[in-house]
């Protein structure tokens, strides 16, 4: 066993462990499955593969020689070691999910007979309510960029308007091409997680910002290498998410509103939609959530605001 181990990274890019080559090969196959068949992002594949390598390495240290010798005792011991090392509840939950996904795949592939990971319990992560802007604060932020005239300022104004109007993720926004915009119906076509496509409407303020950008901003920045990208950087390439995030935080600071990120604007959009009477299923579809439970957290934000207003204003609160 010890003679067959080596500390070389697998092609998954996961952290290397002292694993036998056959186990490293299994991790590679699992990573390929996540990429090719489940269409997971590179970040997700690396995270899941790293979690599986960590678990298998722990199993090898406990004497497991094959995948079939990884039992529930090994899995629980692995989680206990991570918890003792200071892993958060959210991290433990994510790592447990990765191992359950791996074990289910391994059973389907005939690599193991029994999926013991089905019985692996993991702590429920604390659900932290997302920070959101109030509607008046969002209005202040957007109004502060309305007089933008320079190309980059016009772009940043459009970034703010579309993030708040549609609730899209920053990566989805930066990935938009010109043909993804249906100006007649005021819709954007978004390629979300898992390469799932959805159409999201936007309103007149965002349309005005889009008009100004397409007429005066984008032509000034476009270069031969700009391609079909809707949003451009200072050198004409597709706008990078890091630059867009910096633009949002900078604009929020200048507007004098609480610190907010692109994801905070997404949270704000969802919360304000629900507070305005939108049904949960519609908001789920707009945000591109696979599960309704992911959207339900925004109802908690609204309820907390209600409690806060009651405590501050009601004479018998």
**Distance from C-alpha of 219 to C-alpha of 212, rounded to nearest angstrom:** 11
**Distance from C-alpha of 309 to C-alpha of 263, rounded to nearest angstrom:** 24
Q: Going edge to edge, which strands form the sheet with 197-201?
A: 181-182, 187-191, 197-201
* Residue ranges with strand state E in 77-196: 181-182, 187-191
**Distance from C-alpha of 250 to C-alpha of 274, rounded to nearest angstrom:** 27
**Distance from C-alpha of 248 to C-alpha of 208, rounded to nearest angstrom:** 19
Asked if 201 and 190 count as a contact pair (C-beta separation under 8 A), the reply is no
Which residues participate in catalysis according to the annotation?
169, 193, 263, 266, 289, 298
**Distance from C-alpha of 270 to C-alpha of 250, rounded to nearest angstrom:** 22
Report the candidate in 196, 219, 206 with the shortest Cα–Cα distance to residue 291.
196
Partners of residue 197 on adjacent β-strands: 191
Cα 193 to chain centroid distance, Å, stands at 8
**Distance from C-alpha of 125 to C-alpha of 152, rounded to nearest angstrom:** 40
Cα 87 to chain centroid distance, Å, stands at 21
**Distance from C-alpha of 306 to C-alpha of 274, rounded to nearest angstrom:** 13
- The continuous run of DSSP H or E covering 136 comes out as helix 135-144
Sign of the C-alpha dihedral, residues 239, 242, 245, 249?
negative
């Amino acid at each position: 066993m010890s003679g067959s181990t080596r500390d070389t990274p697998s092609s998954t890019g996961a952290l290397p462990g002292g694993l036998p080559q056959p186990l490293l090969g299994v991790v590679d196959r699992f990573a390929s499955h996540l990429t090719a068949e489940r269409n997971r992002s590179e970040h997700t594949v690396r995270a899941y593969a790293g979690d599986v390598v960590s678990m298998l390495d722990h199993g090898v240290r406990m004497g497991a020689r094959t995948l079939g010798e990884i039992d529930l005792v090994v899995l629980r011991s692995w989680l206990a070691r991570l918890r003792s090392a200071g892993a958060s509840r959210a991290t433990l939950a994510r790592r447990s999910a990765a191992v359950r996904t791996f074990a289910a795949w391994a059973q389907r592939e005939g690599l193991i007979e029994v999926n013991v990971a089905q019985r692996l319990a993991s702590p429920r992560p604390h659900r932290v309510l997302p920070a959101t802007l109030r509607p008046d604060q969002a209005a202040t932020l957007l109004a502060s960029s309305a007089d933008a005239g320079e190309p980059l300022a016009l772009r940043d104004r459009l970034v703010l308007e579309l993030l708040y109007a549609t609730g899209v993720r920053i990566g989805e926004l930066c990935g938009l091409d010109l043909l993804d915009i249906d100006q007649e119906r005021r819709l954007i076509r978004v390629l979300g997680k898992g390469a799932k496509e959805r159409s999201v409407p936007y309103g007149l303020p965002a349309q005005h910002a889009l008009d100004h950008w397409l007429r005066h901003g984008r032509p000034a920045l476009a270069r031969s290498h700009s391609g079909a990208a809707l949003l451009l950087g200072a050198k004409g390439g597709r706008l990078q998410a890091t630059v867009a995030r910096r633009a949002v935080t900078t604009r929020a600071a200048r507007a004098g509103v609480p610190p907010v990120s692109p994801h905070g604007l997404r949270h704000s959009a969802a919360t304000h939609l629900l507070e305005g009477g939108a049904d949960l299923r519609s908001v789920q579809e707009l945000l591109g959530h696979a599960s309704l439970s992911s959207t339900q957290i925004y109802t908690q934000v609204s309820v907390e605001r209600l409690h806060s207003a009651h405590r501050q204003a009601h004479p018998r609160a």
